[in-house]
């Protein structure tokens, strides 16, 4: 497979946010991955030719698909052809290659593909993107989502315009953005557990209809006790997911905050609470006879028994997302969520 190439636009060590739009300067901003990280913004006066060289560093392109979606097959096959036609090498995880009947280099899973690729194309919806983000964050390889049906808030390319939009990437018309992961840890059921998420963690009631009672702390200080159907702790990225549906605030992905949002609280006064992303949020189950469940990005992780506590904090890991030039969080908000400040 050859030696590992550094992800495009990166020095292979420092996590930089790269804006590589033709006709503009190259803006580098070091992502704050911890309390000691220092943000850096430098205009280097890069020309279009320099930007093209950044795109040219993408030599090996990974293909990872939601194998439960048969509608992925044609687009993945097209992607393999387009990658080869551009002089680059496609590589897929075994399941994706089998789904699309590809005769290309393969690796065992998404994480293995990310370790040998310079760019990872992810075919599916937001759930597929969330899973890929968690599985591949350690590799540091940028992800580019290709929407196959559904909302696709985290995906940047539509299947119908795939060829044109991928060509724009080869030409260097893109931006790279670093998004932090969050993690939950605790001793649950006698075993220490640690899980990562990109969007959110949710503690919710199980199959019963009774409310659960949860005690919440922020940096060791009691925040409040909730009687509710559940509680969402979302990252900046996850503010437009379950938290938004539960009445939480829309948060820019560049904001360094957690949003704590109760689900159907049994009071008129409870609202979302926004705290620093550097805080540690503790959630302790108080309901003895009612099962509570901990979920990460919509996937159940483990039950939370009475007296057990899960601690949620910013992870040291992050994911890099590639966007087409001209795309932005607020534009996506308007177009995909039909958000508006008025009814006019």
Q: pLDDT tens digits for 194-238?
A: 999 999 999 999 877 889 999 999 999 999 999 999 999 999 999
| DSSP per residue, 148-208 | -SS--SS--EEGGGHHHHHHHHHTT-EEEEEEEEEEEEEEETTEEEEEEESSEEEEEE-SS
Q: Report the predicted TM-score, pTM, of the whole model to 2 decimal places.
A: 0.81
Q: How confident is the model at residue 343 (pLDDT cuts 50, 70, 90)?
A: low
Q: Please spell the DSSP secondary structure of 29-42, one letter per residue.
A: EE---STT----EE
CATH topology for the 182-316 domain: Tumour Suppressor Smad4 (2.60.200)
Residue of 126, 135, 200, 297 marked catalytic: 126
**Number of Cβ atoms within 10 Å of the Cβ of 92:** 27
CA distance to 2, 56, 62, 117, per residue, from 105 (Å):
12, 20, 10, 11
Structure tokens at 322: 């590639």
pLDDT single digits (tens) 123-144 = 999 999 999 999 999 999 999 9
Burial class (CB in 10 A: 0-12, 13-18, 19+), 231: buried
Q: Please state which of the four CATH numbers 3.80.10.10, 3.40.720.10, 3.40.50.10330, 3.30.420.40 is assigned to the domain occupying 16-172.
A: 3.40.50.10330
Band of the pLDDT at 28, cuts 50, 70, 90? very low
Specify the pLDDT at position 75: 94
Is 126 labeled as catalytic in the residue annotation? Answer: yes
pLDDT-derived band at 54, boundaries 50, 70, 90: low
Considering the chain, what percentage of its residues have pLDDT values greater than 70? 82
Cα–Cα distance list, 247 to 46, 264, 265, 274 (Å): 43, 10, 11, 13
Q: Are 204 and 230 in contact (CB under 8 A)?
A: yes
Q: Where are the domains of the chain?
A: 16-172, 182-316
Query: Averaged over 22-51, what is the pLDDT?
Result: 33
Do residues 320 and 268 touch, judged by C-beta distance below 8 A? no
């Amino acid at each position: 497979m050859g030696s590992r190439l550094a992800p495009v636009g990166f020095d292979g060590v420092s996590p930089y946010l790269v804006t590589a739009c033709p006709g503009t300067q190259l803006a580098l901003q070091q992502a704050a991955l911890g309390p000691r990280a220092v943000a850096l913004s430098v205009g280097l006066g890069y020309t279009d030719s320099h930007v093209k060289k950044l795109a040219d560093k993408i030599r090996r392109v990974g293909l990872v698909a939601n194998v439960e979606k048969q509608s992925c097959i044609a687009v993945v096959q097209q992607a393999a052809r387009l990658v080869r036609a551009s002089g680059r090498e496609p590589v897929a995880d075994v399941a994706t290659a089998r789904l699309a009947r590809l005769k290309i280099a393969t690796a065992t899973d998404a994480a293995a593909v990310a370790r040998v690729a310079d760019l990872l194309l992810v075919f599916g919806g937001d759930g597929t993107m969330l899973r890929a983000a968690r599985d591949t964050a350690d590799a540091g390889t940028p992800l580019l989502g290709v929407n196959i049906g559904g909302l696709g808030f985290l995906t940047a390319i539509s299947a119908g315009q795939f060829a044109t939009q991928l060509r724009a990437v080869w030409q260097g018309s893109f931006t790279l953005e670093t998004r932090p992961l969050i993690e939950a840890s605790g001793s649950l059921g006698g075993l220490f557990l640690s899980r990562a998420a990109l969007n959110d963690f949710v503690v919710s009631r199980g199959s019963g209809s009774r409310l659960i009672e949860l005690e919440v702390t922020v940096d060791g200080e009691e925040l409040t006790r909730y009687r509710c159907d559940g509680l969402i702790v979302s990252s900046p990225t996850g503010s437009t997911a379950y938290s938004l549906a539960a009445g939480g605030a829309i948060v820019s992905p560049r904001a360094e905050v957690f949003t704590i949002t109760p689900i159907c609280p049994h009071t008129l006064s409870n609202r979302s609470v926004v705290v620093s992303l550097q805080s540690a949020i503790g959630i302790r189950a108080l309901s003895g006879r009612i099962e509570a469940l901990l979920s990460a990005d919509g996937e159940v992780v483990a039950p939370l028994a009475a007296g057990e506590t899960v601690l949620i904090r910013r992870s040291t890991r992050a994911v890099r997302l590639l966007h087409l030039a001209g795309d932005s969080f607020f534009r996506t908000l308007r177009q995909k969520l039909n958000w508006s400040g008025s009814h006019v």
